[in-house]
Structure 1
Amino acid sequence: MLLDRDGTLVHDVPYNGDPDAVRPTTGAREALDALRTRGVLLGVVTNQSGVGRGLLTRDQVAAVDARVEELLGPFGTWQVCPHTPEHGCACRKPAPGLVLAAAAALGVPPWRCAVIGDVGADVRAAVAAGATPVLVPTPVTRQAEVEAAPLVAPDLPAAVGALKDRLVAPAGRARGGGAA
C-alpha cells in the first residue's frame, strides 16, 4: 500500500517544515495498523515542491516525515520528489516515478500495489505505474478529479476497506512482508 502524505495520512499544511504541525487524518493510525497486522507493506509517495521552491530544506521534510512515523508507525519506504512541476522530472506525481521506486524498494511489482491519495495526480501516477488508485477527496480535490477516479472513498479507513480483498500477503513472505 502506497500512500500520499499530505491530505491523506496527515492534514495538509502547505509547505510544512514544522513537525509540531503534523496532525494525522481521522482513523489513519488504526487503518495502517490493521494493514501491518495483515502483513501489508506500506510506503509513502509524496511530492514536496517546497524544497525545489526554496521554501523547505530536505532536513525539514525529513523531520516532518519522522513525526509522521512517530504518530502513525513505520513505513517500509519513503519516496519524496523535491522538484517543482517546472523541473519536468520523472518522479513527481502524476509521473509514475515515485510509485515505481516505492514498489521496487518494497520488492513488490507495481501491479500488486494500491496507491491512496487525495488529488488527481496521485490517481494518474498510480495508473501510469500500473497500480490500483484510490482517491480520498479533501476540500482541495477538484470535482473533475473525483469524477475521473476509478475508485473513490470518503476517508483512509474506507479506502483500505475498499481494497481489503486485493490486499493479500503472498505465501511464504516473512512477517512484515506482503503486498504493497
Structure 2
Amino acid sequence: MTPGRPAAFLDRDGVLIEDVGYPHRPDQLRLMPGAATAVRRLNAAGFVCVIVTNQSGVARGLFDLEQMQAFNDLVVQTLAEDGAHIDAVYACPFHAQGSVEAFIHPDHPDRKPNPGMILRAVAEHGLDPDRSLMIGDQPSDMEAAQRAGVLGFRFVGGDLDRFVADLLGD
C-alpha cells in the first residue's frame, strides 16, 4: 500500500485571512501578511493544502450557506491569483447556540475541536496524518489536530510565510 500524501490543514479566519468577526462579504476579505507565499511554500514542499474552518455564522443566522461557500471560493480564488493552490475546503456551519434550526447541533463531529473535517479530508484525499500538520490560531484547532493524529502549530499572528518557513526549516 502506498503511503498517503502529507497535508497542511489550515484554519481560515486568523490564519489565512484576518479575522474581522464572521467575514462573509468580499469587502471583508483581507489576506494575512505572507498568506499566499506561505501556501505556495507548502505547495512546493509537496503538501496538499486543505482549509478547515468553523463557520458558526451560518447557524447564528448572520449569513447563509451559499454566502459562506461563495466567500470560501473567493478566498481560494484570491490565493490562486498569487500562485497559491488550495486543494479543498471543509467548513462546519453548525453550532450548539445557533438560531437557524437546520444548523443547530449540540456537538457536531465536524466542529473543531472535534476532528471530523480533518478525518474526512484524510479519507477523501488519501492523506497521511503522520506526515501532515495543522496551522490554527485557536486552542480548538490544536485539539482537533491532536485528536486527528496530526501535529498542530499555533499561529498567533504576524507573517504567515515566516511562520511556515520556520516550521519547514527553510
Aligned to 2:5: none
Partner residue, 1:78: 89
Larger relative contact order (Cα-Cα within 8 Å, sequence gap ≥ 6): 2
Q: How do 1:27-176 residues align onto structure 2 when only pairs under 5 Å count?
A: 27-73=34-80, 74-86=85-97, 87=105, 88-138=107-157, 155-164=159-168
Matches of 1:26 and 1:132, distance apart in 2: 23
Say which SS state the counterpart of residue 29 (structure 1) adopts.
Answer: helix
Is the 8 Å Cα contact of residues 45 and 99 (structure 1) preserved in structure 2?
yes
SS at match of 2:111: coil
In structure 2, runs of 5+ residues without a counterpart are 1-7, 98-104
Task: Report the count of equivalent residues.
Answer: 151
Q: Is the 8 A contact 1:103 1:113 kept in 2?
A: no
Matches within 5 A, 1:1-40: 1-40=8-47
Determine the C-alpha separation between the residues in 2 that align with 1:134 and 1:65: 22
The Cα of 1:155 is off from its aligned counterpart by 4.0
* CA-to-aligned-CA distance 1:114-164 (integer Å, 9 cap, x gap): 0001110001100111101000115xxxxxxxxxxxxxxx54223312331
Unaligned runs of 5+ residues in structure 1 are 139-153, 166-180
Would the aligned equivalents of 2:34 and 2:162 in 1 still touch at CA under 8 Å? Answer: no
Deviations 1:52-99 (A, max 9, x none): 111111111111111111221231111111101452111100011111
Partner of 1:147: none
In structure 2, the CA distance between the partners of 1:91 and 1:63, relative to structure 1 (3 Å rule), is: same
Change in 2 beyond 3 A, CA 1:156/1:103: farther
Distance change in 2, residues 1:69/1:60 (3 Å): same
- Partners in 1 of 2:143 and 2:162 — Cα distance? 20
Report if the CA contact (8 A) 1:19-1:63 is conserved: no
| TM-score, normalised via structure 1 length | 0.77
Percent of matched pairs sharing the same residue: 38
**2:143 and 2:22 mapped to 1: Cα distance?**
22
Contact 1:4–1:117 (CA under 8 A) maintained in structure 2: yes
